[in-house]
Amino acid sequence: MHPTDFTLAGALAALNEGAISAEELTRAHVAAVEALNPKLNAFITTTSEKALDAARASDARRARGDAGPLEGIPLAIKDLFCTEGVRTTAGSKILGNFIPPYESTVTAQLKRDGAVFLGKANLDEFAMGSSNLTSAYRGVLNPWQRKDDPAARLVPGGSSGGSAAAVAARMALGATGTDTGGSIRQPAAFCGITGIKPTYGRCSRFGIVAFASSLDQAGPFARTVEDCAILLRSMAGHDPKDSTSAAQPVPDFAAACARSVKGMRIGVPREYRLDGMPAEIEKLWRQGLDWLRDAGAEIVDISLPHTKYALPTYYIVAPAEASSNLARYDGVRFGLRVAEKDSDLRDLYESTRAEGFGAEVRRRIMIGTYVLSAGYYDAYYLKAQKIRALIASDFDAAWGKVDAIVTPATPSAAFAEGENADDPVKMYLNDVFTVTANLAGLPGLALPTGLDHQGLPLGLQVIGRAFDEETVFAVGAALERAADFKAVPAMRAGA
Ligand code: GLN
């Protein structure tokens, strides 16, 4: 087997048995990155030399009997996680020269457990987008192709598009992502892989470039549910450096993947049945529920009545927080500085921010500033916060009746560059099934369960109670076993 075809769990087993070394495994992935990245543009920065050094150090630790739980596993890191000494751009020109002097907690924990970093994965600028096309470092090509139109340039989804494409194309065994409104689950679905946004507070946000602090969560991508579970265990845990990280024990998520769903109650929210939803998505959803019923789960119709307000609520709360978080990029303390001769401080701010931020980021800053401004605060921001509480209480009521909720992950398969581009609101519709979990702080997992008529992957989403990722993993693993999704993208290492 080609080393890039291992699952993460399979690679760990092979490393433990001595069937492969971390250096060999990393070399194979570095070669895949070098071969594919010029086409896919999944990485903004590659760190091949550092990765090979880390792999050799990993082999030495293993030889000493000192192997961590991710010892020797090559990963892609979304370029939103600060990595000490390695440029971290957030997909923005304004951070184009930013080399953090410190490491994010999530990446520090992955390193502590022995992981090897291949480089920094491309993303939408400041994680704002659903196509990776807002990146100042160009878009990412989805490694999947339409049957009837293989030349169409499909997007990988966003904002963690580079992470998802890298894992799908076998350039990495896993990756980190962040999800504020769907940025792990939507690209996972578009790229035919698995990703989970854990409960808000499960992973530390320390050292992750902030977009919307009350919504942002880190999470893993991988090609199987179990692999995500293994990664999440290393990423999660309380961090004194992030006051919103939760002092909750981190369970053995991988063990939960083997739990039976027999007797579990699975909720089907009626409000997620959208008018005009493609029949293929409807069929995928029904199929998933049938599989769970066959595995002994009980399917229960539920109502989440405030769902229709979720997107407008998200697109007030997220830009509001973003406008405040992004105020720090002023040309003085971080990154880019654009200063004319004789310019005063105000000119410095204005020219730096005008030059440094792309169109979507500027749009969000303007919306956010508007909804927070005197006179509009009560009408928009405060109202949105109230609706957010109602959306969360819809879920609280549902947990009295069900143990997990299953929905489609996205309203469509991957679209092509240019499609959806004319209208930002159309782009925002991508998040219709995912933003609710962020607004309510709940864990959500996306996994591929079928293909559309063009041979493109389609995904389902599993939402669970706060801090009950174990049930989410159990349901996800049951769907994975039933779906037996074996399709692979046209562009991948070894193909
Ligand atoms: N697509 C959503 C947005 O543009 C979600 C982004 C995210 O989760 N980071 O805001």
Integer CA distances (angstroms), 134 to 92, 102, 148, 414, in order: 9, 26, 27, 16
End-to-end CA distance of the chain: 12
CB 166 within 8 A of CB 175: yes
Whole-number average pLDDT of the chain:
97
**CATH classification of the domain holding 213:** 3.90.1300.10
Band of pLDDT at residue 392, cut at 50, 70 and 90: very high
**Per-residue pLDDT tens for 17-29?**
999 999 999 999 9
Active site residue 78: yes
pLDDT, position 115: 98
Atom of ligand 1 nearest to the CA of 315: 10
Evaluate whether residue 364 is within a structural domain: no
> What is the mean predicted confidence (pLDDT) over 425-439?
89
In angstroms, what is the span from residue 259 Cα to ligand 1's centroid? 32
Band of pLDDT at residue 257, cut at 50, 70 and 90: very high
Provide the token pair at 477: 């693993």
Q: Which of 79, 122, 123, 130 has the most ligand 1 atoms within 8 A of CB, as the residue to mutate? A: 130
Among 183, 204, 245, 412, which one carries the catalytic annotation? 183
Evaluate whether residue 309 is within a structural domain: no
Evaluate whether residue 140 is within a structural domain: yes
In angstroms, what is the span from residue 129 Cα to ligand 1's centroid? 5
129 touches ligand 1 (CB under 6 Å): yes
**Per-residue pLDDT tens for 433-475?**
999 999 999 999 999 999 999 999 999 999 999 999 999 999 9
Q: With pLDDT > 90 as the criterion, what percentage of the chain qualifies?
A: 94
> What is the mean predicted confidence (pLDDT) over 70-87?
98
Evaluate whether residue 154 is within a structural domain: yes
pLDDT, position 47: 98
In angstroms, what is the span from residue 333 Cα to ligand 1's centroid? 26
pLDDT, position 430: 85
What's the maximum distance between 2 C-alpha atoms anywhere in the chain? Answer: 73
Evaluate whether residue 336 is within a structural domain: no
Q: Which of 123, 124, 315, 427 has the most ligand 1 atoms within 8 A of CB, as the residue to mutate? A: 124
Band of pLDDT at residue 334, cut at 50, 70 and 90: confident
pLDDT, position 340: 82
Provide the token pair at 43: 């990485």
**Per-residue pLDDT tens for 271-330?**
999 888 889 999 999 999 999 999 999 999 999 999 999 999 999 999 999 999 999 999
Band of pLDDT at residue 268, cut at 50, 70 and 90: very high
Integer CA distances (angstroms), 401 to 265, 267, 435, in order: 7, 8, 22
159 touches ligand 1 (CB under 6 Å): yes
Atom of ligand 1 nearest to the CA of 158: 1
In angstroms, what is the span from residue 439 Cα to ligand 1's centroid? 12
What residues have CB less than 8 Å from 494, skipping those under 6 apart?
Answer: 2, 4, 5, 32, 170
- Buried/exposed code over 45-67 (b: 16+ C-beta within 10 A; e: otherwise): bbbbebbbebbbebbebbeeeeb
Evaluate whether residue 110 is within a structural domain: yes
> Could you give the number of structural domains in the chain?
1
Band of pLDDT at residue 495, cut at 50, 70 and 90: confident
Evaluate whether residue 423 is within a structural domain: yes
Provide the token pair at 449: 């369960």
Element (H, E) at 426: helix 424-428
Atom of ligand 1 nearest to the CA of 182: 8
How many Cβ atoms are within 10 Å of 98's Cβ, its own excluded? 17
In angstroms, what is the span from residue 128 Cα to ligand 1's centroid? 5
In angstroms, what is the span from residue 131 Cα to ligand 1's centroid? 10
Q: Single out the residue of 81, 63, 82 nearest to residue 71, CA to CA.
A: 63
Q: Single out the residue of 243, 147, 194, 230 nearest to residue 462, CA to CA.
A: 194
315 touches ligand 1 (CB under 6 Å): no
Atom of ligand 1 nearest to the CA of 180: 8
pLDDT, position 429: 83
Band of pLDDT at residue 342, cut at 50, 70 and 90: confident
Atom of ligand 1 nearest to the CA of 212: 9
Evaluate whether residue 214 is within a structural domain: yes
Determine the 3-state secondary structure of 183 from DSSP: coil
Active site residue 183: yes
Q: Which domain holds residue 170?
A: 3-263+417-432+464-472
pLDDT, position 425: 76
184 touches ligand 1 (CB under 6 Å): no
Band of pLDDT at residue 1, cut at 50, 70 and 90: confident
CA–CA dist 204, 217 (Å, integer): 8
Among 21, 78, 234, 412, which one carries the catalytic annotation? 78
**Per-residue pLDDT tens for 217-255?**
999 999 999 999 999 999 999 999 999 999 999 999 999
Compute φ and ψ for 188, nearest 5 degrees.
-60, -45
In angstroms, what is the span from residue 407 Cα to ligand 1's centroid? 18
pLDDT, position 343: 85
pLDDT, position 423: 77
182 touches ligand 1 (CB under 6 Å): yes
